[in-house]
Amino acid sequence: MSESPEPEPVDGRAARAQQRRHQRRSEILAAATQVFREKGYHAASVGDIIEAARIARGTFYLYFNGKREIFTELASEFLSLIRGSVRKITLDPGAPPPIEQMRANFRRVMGTVLAHDDLATIMLRDPSEVDLEGRAQMQQFFDQVIGLIELAVRTGRSLGFARDCDDHIIAVSALGALREVLRRMLAARAEAARAEAEGLDVAPSRALLIDTERLADELVTFFVRGVFT
């Protein structure tokens, strides 16, 4: 835009450089996501990533400090996405009923997971696959999710909706159920995609391939009936 030959070029150059740098980063992250999804964290090597990103070995270390760091970055990204999908349940007069808010949360999370299935596939795996640091990060995130659910249940009970139960156990159960369903939903979809690609019309575990809204509803119903009166 700025054709001025000398005064601004420094800024312009710097900006362009930074932009290019950012784009490179994204490309590498995208490549790493693919690789991690296919091979898992451990089996994936830096060699796999640089091959997928079509960059030189050294370039990788120009953008990331190592395999762990790139994973940590992906984890952060995913956690942000999921956090962005969840709204705290409010009792404001004009707001929809709490259960509807919860249903909306489930739906949004599922939508986000589907929209970023590569990332989600990686992150829904057990944290034990990663090393200590990454593990802690994911642990913390899931703990927060549990906190949210506990809050929801407590809120429900204070309104006289929820039965008497151990909130923590219920929350852990709900998280576990959600994770397992999402995991298997992603696996089923991946397999269905693979089957279609190969021309086979094998339909594995049809139940998990229904549209996400119904899936979310089914989960919410299970959760609600289990907890609320």
Q: Where are the beta strands (DSSP E) in the chain?
A: none
Q: Contact between 94 and DNA (CB under 7 A)?
A: no
Q: What is the dihedral of CA 121, 80, 104, 145, to 10 degrees?
A: 80
In angstroms, the CA 3 to CA 111 distance is 44
Segment near DNA (CB under 7 A), from 39-47, 94-102, 130-138, 151-159? 39-47
Q: Contact between 189 and a copy of itself (CB under 8 A)?
A: no
SS3 139: helix
Min dist CB 187 to DNA, Å, is 24
Segment near DNA (CB under 7 A), from 55-63, 104-112, 115-123, 189-197? 55-63
In angstroms, the CA 116 to CA 184 distance is 15
The one among 9, 15, 26, 47 contacting DNA by CB under 7 A: 47
Q: Contact between 47 and a copy of itself (CB under 8 A)?
A: no
- List, in order, residues 6 or more apart from 103 with CB less than 8 Å away: 216, 217, 220
Segment near DNA (CB under 7 A), from 54-62, 96-104, 133-141, 193-201? 54-62
62 binds, among DNA, a copy of itself, none (CB under 5 to 8 A by kind): DNA
